[in-house]
Amino acid sequence: MAAQAGPRDVVKSPEPKMGRLKGGANTEAEAAKLSPAQLELLIEGAEWRFNAATNSNDRKQAFKRLTWLEAQRERLHGIEAPDRRLPGRQTDIE
């Protein structure tokens, strides 16, 4: 009789180090392993996180993550990253 895997047989992966996003790319090598669809999903999540952030530190971290992911998409797949600036931080250069 074949053994069936039950809920107790699930193997858990080790917890990520502090500061690393679980389930996402945190280095260029990890980003290179992702498909364009997976990378797009991470970008959408980072954009949502940026828009939903309730304080300036969360917004800044989400913005940095978003721009880094878009830069990886541009580097790996040639999809041009939009020119973004963190709201409230730009100066009038004109």
pLDDT at residue 4 greater than cutoff 90: no
pLDDT digits (tens, 9 = 90+) for 27-45: 999 999 989 999 999 999 9
pLDDT at residue 87 greater than cutoff 90: no
Residue-range domain boundaries for the chain: 28-77
Q: Could you give the CA distance from residue 8 to residue 20 in angstroms, rounded to a whole number? A: 27
Q: What is the pLDDT of residue 52?
A: 93
pLDDT digits (tens, 9 = 90+) for 47-72: 999 999 999 899 999 999 999 999 99
What is the model's pTM? 0.68
Measured CA to CA in angstroms, residue 14 lies from 17, 22, 63, 68, 71 at distances of: 9, 10, 27, 25, 28
Q: What is the pLDDT of residue 25?
A: 85
- The contacts of residue 89 (CB under 8 Å, 6+ apart) are none
For range 13-20, the mean pLDDT: 48
Q: What percent of the chain has pLDDT over 90?
A: 47
pLDDT at residue 10 greater than cutoff 60: no
